Structure 1
Amino acid sequence: MKISTTGIYSATAWIALGLVVLLISGCGTKDTEARQVVQKDGTAITVLDNTAESVYTSLKLERIDRIDELRGMDWIDEDTLVVSRENRQLNPETIEGEARYPRNLYRYELASASQSALVEGDHTYGSAQFSPDKRHMFYMELYESTGMGYIMDMASGQSVKLDDKEFMMDEGVWADDAHVIYSDMEGAVKRADLKGASEAILQVEGARAQGAVQSGNVIYYIVGGEAGQQLFAWDGDTKTTAMLSENVTSVLPSPDGSRLALHKRIGPGKVELLLSDAEGKTLSTVASGMQVFGTNWSPDGSKLAYAVSENGDQYRFFIMELETGEQTEVLGNNDVSDQLQWSPSGKKLMIPTGELKDNVYKSTTYIINLS
């Protein structure tokens, strides 16, 4: 399988489809006036209200690569991905009259489009992500909405199971080079080491913790209840817990831990992407829509990538520069299947998309190359 020759676009050719005009308000690390962003030749040109002066961002789109039939998961290095695809060497399962093949995990080289197996078998595997030092890969054996977690040693290719019980398929992230943190089905937040041994770090009484992530010695997690979904922070040094914000559906700390990217439900059919400090105090509103998904910080914390949908179906994809607050649309009118992923250098952004057509799910991965 090769990168589609019809799916490699220069920035100029892509923008030639039409200038993209965005009306953005309240973006950046502080409150700003409404602004108009015009994308031209891969550069976002920002025109502030009541001024004739144009402000050019440093973000420039070099090209977009499209990879068909592969679902990108994470970067192994600057030029190599871990991807999921159907393994048609195995026997399919017939579901609603359609042949469904197990999806397995593969190493994909961008330059040569070559693939090699990482995890193959009769089950479907996904949710793959690499430790910060790239020496280990967390992944899941997936069922419907749950799965079993594993950690693979990339040097030996050997995997260990994290737990004897299933947990939700959207749980599990690296806390550091040597630990994965996740929430189990009983409400506990657990941490597993590279040998698969797991321990409960904290227990939420009467509810289930969700979306646990760690930044330094602080663990952020979300609890749903009568008051809605609330964001909590647990300090590993003092062993104390504080409620930071309400109606939060997702939290992602910046690489240096100074800021949080929050998805917050503000009403029926409306979600906002907010930036807050580490204590949950809102700094700015980045975007809003019926859905916001896939948000991720660049490795140096200077940029934020995210996807916004106005209708709950098709998404538009943006990169915001934190220093200026300016936003550039890099891809439009696609569904999004997983979190957006930055390459180690921060010069490439992987956007995994998918479409259910004729009862068959088709994956396409885009690589946004920045100069």
Structure 2
Amino acid sequence: MKKIKLLILAVITGSLILTMGCMSEKSQARKVVDENGKAITLLTNDKSNANEDISVEKIDTLKEITAHDWVDDNTILATQITKNTVVAATGEGTILRTVKLYDVNSKKEKNIFESSDKFQEPVLSPDKSLMLLVDGETGCCISDLEGNIKAKFNKPYIYAGDISQAYWINNKEIIMPCSGINGFYIINVDGTEKEIKDVEDNPFFQQAVKVGNKIYYRTILETTQEMKVYDIDSKETKPFMEEKHVLNFRISPDNKQFLVESYDENKDKCSLILTTLDGTNKEILVEDKFLSSSNWSPDGSKISYTVSGKLVGGSFIIDINTKKKSLISKSIFSTKKEEESSSVWSPSGKKLFVNMFEVKDNKMVDNAYIFNLK
């Protein structure tokens, strides 16, 4: 397990190096909002580029909590570290976590699994009734939100890093990349499983999304990160797009488009690219020094993303139809110790959270920030 933790830390560190950077300062308007009762200043784009329909009413900070997904518009599935003896520099030590439901309005918490080193990295089902978890004893398991285990899966080649990138195909099936078999692992809530082995001779797969008879995924080699597509029927693999540094991708809510984060060495820039499922009709939405954490709004009309950097950074929202951008927050990027890790919309699209971590007392500490949009 220690070896796996070190591998995950190395991959995260490498990804952050690629996705951190700075952006140009532009003329911007200022807006004072409330963050946990304290007035702070946020920046919004100048009128020529701002989406006037999107602004931030307030930002709530959840200290030392990692948000994973929204159960509903007021409830977050989260984990919280209760004990951490891991040294950031070496990865050695033990982490105990509580998996919980957190009400962002009442601040009430309901523990699902208490202070354990077994359960972590919950991935919520589309209907919000079940979750996949890393199980330190068996590999992975499926549980309901009351903590009742529905199925367990124990394979020696299932790694925590693979499970954390699992994708719910529907409310019953889950697919995950599986570096241990150079392919994919598909499991069902009824306890059945399927292996797709030897897709290609590559020691490291990341992400896997299944649509129909095709599986879209990323491979990581020494100098490239490519997005590829595997045809289950023909067993053929081919590049999905020509970009050689695909950092992340997300499928749209209607399963008809991909949002791709890509880095161009020649331009020394990152791009957010929209493309159809066959990799054609590509459209560059945003280009900047470094971009990360893009995600679709529930209705597929907007995309959140982050620009990170030493001088300037912030969370943005872009309307994919009008191309208008809104800088919804800069305040949480003011410290050099914190780096962004994810962004997730609530079911109504009225709230958005991002996770940040900082190294505190030589340990990594997570904080979640809830943007209340209006």
Q: Which ranges of structure 1 fall in alignment gaps of 5 or more residues?
A: 1-5, 21-36, 39-44, 48-54
In structure 1, C-alpha distance between the alignment counterparts of 2:123 and 2:48, rounded to whole Å:
35
CA separation in 1, counterparts of 2:135 and 2:195?
Answer: 22
**Aligned partners of 1:81 and 1:310: how far apart in 2?**
28
CA contact (8 A) 1:82 1:106 kept: yes
Distance in 1 (CA, whole Å) between partners of 2:79 and 2:147 is 20
Asked if the contact 2:352/2:372 (under 8 Å) is kept, the reply is yes
Which residue identity lines up with residue 371 of structure 2 in the other structure?
I
Residue 342 (structure 1) aligns with: 345
- Within the candidate set 36, 40, 43, 1:8 is matched to 36
Deviations 1:57-106 (A, max 9, x none): 32232222122221111111111111111225xxx647589996512211
Provide the residue aligned with 2:293 in structure 1.
Answer: 294
**Aligned residues of 2:352 and 2:370 also touching (Cα < 8 A):** yes
Return the alpha-carbon distance in structure 1 between the equivalents of residues 312 and 191 of structure 2.
38
Partner of 1:66: 61
Distance in 2 between residues matched to 1:324 and 1:142, nearest whole Å: 46
CA–CA separation in structure 2 for the residues paired with 1:150 and 1:57: 44
Q: Is residue 263 from structure 1 mapped to residue 254 from structure 2 by the alignment? A: no
Equivalent position of 2:122 in the other structure: 128
Q: For the structure 1 residues 60 and 217, does the alpha-carbon distance in structure 2 shift closer, same or farther, using more than 3 Å as the test?
A: farther
Q: Which has the higher helix share?
A: 2
5 Å-filtered alignment, 1:143-158, equals 148-154=139-145, 157-158=148-149
**Separation in 2 of the partners of 1:113 and 1:315?**
29
Q: 1: CA distance between counterparts of 2:68 and 2:74? A: 14
Shift of residue 261, structure 1, vs aligned partner:
1.0
Provide the rounded CA distance (Å) in 1 between the counterparts of 2:215 and 2:270.
23
Q: Secondary structure at the match of 1:203?
A: coil
Higher strand share: 1
Cα shift at 1:113: 0.9
Query: Aligned residue for 1:321?
Result: 319
SS in 2 for 1:102: strand
2:358 is the alignment partner of 1:364: no
**1:262 shift after superposition:** 0.9
Higher relative contact order (CA 8 A, sep 6+): 2
Partner of 1:284 in structure 2?
284
Q: Gapped runs of 5+ residues in structure 2?
A: 1-33
Q: What is the alpha-carbon distance in structure 1 between the residues aligned to residue 159 and residue 273 of structure 2?
A: 28
Alignment of 1:169-248 (within 5 A): 169=161, 170-185=164-179, 186-201=181-196, 203-207=198-202, 208-225=204-221, 228-236=224-232, 240-245=236-241, 246-247=243-244, 248=246
Deviation sequence 1:283-307 (CA, Å, 0-9, x none): 11423334x3322111111111122
SS in 1 for 2:240: strand
- Amino acid paired to 2:121: S
User: Structure 1's 81 and 336: CA in aligned 2 closer, same or farther, altered over 3 A?
Assistant: farther
Contact 2:94 2:117 in 1 (8 A): no
Is the 1:136–1:152 Cα contact (8 Å) retained in structure 2? Answer: yes
Of 161, 164, 167 in structure 1, the residue corresponding to residue 159 of structure 2 is 167
Q: For structure 1, which segment, 359-368 or 335-344, has the greater mean C-alpha deviation from structure 2 after superposition?
A: 335-344
Whether contact under 8 Å (1:151, 1:196) holds in the other structure is: no
Provide the rounded CA distance (Å) in 2 between the counterparts of 1:361 and 1:209. Answer: 25
Change (3 A) 1:205 1:229: same
Deviations 1:236-283 (A, max 9, x none): 566654422132232211111222111212128643222222222321
- C-alpha distance in 1 between matches for 2:147 and 2:358: 35
Q: Name the amino acid aligned to 1:327.
A: K
| Counterpart-to-counterpart distance in 2, 1:103 and 1:156 | 14
Measure, in 2, the Cα distance between the counterparts of 1:162 and 1:217: 24
1:173-204 deviations in Å (ceiling 9; x for gaps): 21111111101122111211113432124632
**Which deviates the most, 221-230 or 351-360?**
221-230
Give the conservation status (yes or no) of the 8 Å contact 1:273–1:288.
no
CA positional deviation for 1:228: 2.6
CA contact (8 A) 2:134 2:160 kept: no
Task: Tell me how far apart the structure 1 counterparts of residues 363 and 221 of structure 2 sit (CA, whole Å).
Answer: 36
- The TM-score, its normalising length taken from structure 1, stands at 0.77
Q: Does 1:46 align with 2:48?
A: yes
- Which letter does structure 2 place at the counterpart of 1:205? E
- Report how far residue 234 of structure 1 moved: 2.9
Among the aligned pairs, what percent are the same residue? 26
- Name the CA shift for 1:56/1:213 in 2 (closer, same or farther; >3 Å): closer
Match of 2:106?
Answer: 112
**Quick one: which amino acid aligns to residue 308 of structure 2?**
S
Q: CA–CA distance in 1 between the matches of 2:136 and 2:315?
A: 27
Aligned residue in 1 for 2:52: 57
Number of aligned positions between the proteins: 325
Give the conservation status (yes or no) of the 8 Å contact 1:119–1:125: yes
In structure 1, the partner of 2:72 is 77
